[in-house]
Structure 1
């Protein structure tokens, strides 16, 4: 039975991971989160809900060694769900965990695009650099602690979302406007993971320590082309949509321009170019390895996106 401490529990990915851990029917003896006083103050309802579910709340500064070590003493497994801007904070957390004998396992914040998909191109992708530094630190400095990277590919709810007008050329599905912009030819397959499945896959990895030990697990919910996603939106809305395409050469041009202009949306162009190029595809996924083949479908997540966009428009 694992005693799990979560960092980044109230973030976009963290909420789903925390929810899955809270509702896990087996394997979890104790669950806690480490968070800041600011989060406790600004997300009080969420924190109180966690408390009501028996989750322990540890309040402190993630950069303060004593604060972190005080929380570490009650757990054996660390699950990190840090956002992109806080990825490097994991290096200190890993260092302190390596020195804490009761901590046995660490799940770094790796959810999303595979940062080592290609030995030729991945090391040079700008959005990968911080996660690559964390992996390099683990390879060089972590000897005792076990680790598991849960590599999910893109989150379906975000990939199928409505983008702001200024960047919808990077791909969008607009339910109210019945408009879509597909990337490449629209026939390129991409493997997606839904947000609920993200949490379930982390739990599954946690419950299969032998199979997940020191591995990068390649897991996902389903694989679909842009045209297949569009077809599902059209089926569920009962209407044909207005469709445009952003060819690969145009996507690359926009990506290059965004980085040159230091546009904060440059990462979006790069990640979506990687997906369209096939950077989420594998001969086999690792779901079976951790008994996690029962995942959500394209139809399920499209229905959720339609509901979300419709409610937002009211």
Structure 2
């Protein structure tokens, strides 16, 4: 069983980040840089290929006073060397390498200085209900959680954000029936009946929430923090797009994908090994209400300031029109 906050020490001072140049890792690192005066040392672990291919990004990171460690995430010696004097590990590795965190956890558990591990969660709560254990996209994350619970000297925090607002409130990645908002053509596809509530988190806010969790260890350790930027509905999102694009209704260009159709699209995607299969499963879970939690934990970690739906839609409009 993982150590309690009391036995593990209560402060994150020396932090190591895996996946710091990825989609969500860069947002976490940006928030850590903004708060770097509150920590002694911030380091990132990156591969030689990333250090080479993203050389300009790495130089900017170094210029912020961040320690860059180059190594092989699958090389035990490289990881153990990176862990020296680190007390907190934050992982933001991508979905395709989620299971690679299991050996990272085992090595952290063997390292006396490492006391706190944030696995790559930042999405749907994979233990939301009894059916969650059977969802295909959840399987590797469930194994990671099991490894953390088996650790003898590590505390953990799962930062559960629900879907990323930046990706949900956009053109869509699952085709014309998978939910989308197209500013140029003023067309939208709403999932379900459009009135189902969904909890969303802006990617930049994920970073703020991780930092807030670090600064509130007693409230954060050994639990799943269910946090978000805001809760809304597809219809409310559409109304905000309409308001910010001149006030005209998009009604003639709005379609709906009912849950039954979404489930069928999901089934077909898995049967044909479509790259969109995971996206359809997640969007079906969200549309079923799988991101609506009994209690939102933002207040437990200091209620950091979050972006609003209005701000998100305005940003997406500018991006699409650009």
TM-score (norm 2): 0.94
Question: Which residue of 234, 240, 243 corresponds with 2:249?
Answer: 240
Aligned to 2:133: 123
Q: CA deviation at 1:32?
A: 0.7
Verify the 8 A CA contact 2:148 2:154 in the aligned structure 1: no
Whether 2:211 is the aligned partner of 1:200: answer: no
**1:134-283 to 2 correspondences below 5 Å:** 134-139=144-149, 141-163=150-172, 167-238=175-246, 239-241=248-250, 242-283=253-294
Instruction: Give the secondary structure class of the aligned counterpart of 1:182.
Output: strand
Is 1:73 aligned with 2:81? Answer: no
SS for the counterpart of 1:180 is strand
How far did 1:26 drift?
A: 4.5
Per-residue CA distance 1:252-298 (angstroms, 9 max, x = gap): 11111111111110011110010011101112100011012521110
- d(CA) in 2 for partners of 1:75, 1:25: 15
Structure 2 Cα separation of the partners of residues 267 and 203 of structure 1: 28
Q: Deviations over 1:130-178 (max 9, x none)?
A: 1011111222x212111100000000000011125x7121101111111
Distance in 1 between the 2:100 and 2:287 partners?
Answer: 30
SS in 2 for 1:264: coil
Gaps of 5+ in 2: 1-11
Instruction: Give the SS at the match of 1:136.
Output: helix
TM-score, normalised to structure 1, is 0.96
Quote the offset at 1:243 in angstroms: 0.6
- Cα distance in 1, alignment partners of residues 245 and 24 from structure 2: 28
How far apart, in 2, do the equivalents of 1:15 and 1:279 lie?
A: 26
Equivalent residue for 1:4?
15
Aligned length: 308
Q: How many angstroms apart in 2 are the aligned matches of 1:64 and 1:292?
A: 39
User: Alpha-carbon deviation of 1:309?
Assistant: 1.2
Regions of 4+ moved over 2 Å: none
TM-superposed CA distance for 1:25, in Å, is 5.5
**3-state SS of 1:149 partner:** strand
| Partner SS, residue 292 of structure 1 | coil
Q: Does structure 1 conserve the Cα–Cα contact (< 8 Å) formed by 2:36 and 2:42?
A: no
Describe the SS at the equivalent of 1:181: strand
Unaligned runs of 5+ in 1: none
**Aligned-partner Cα distance in 1 for 2:167–2:192:** 18
CA distance in 2, matches of 1:77, 1:100: 11
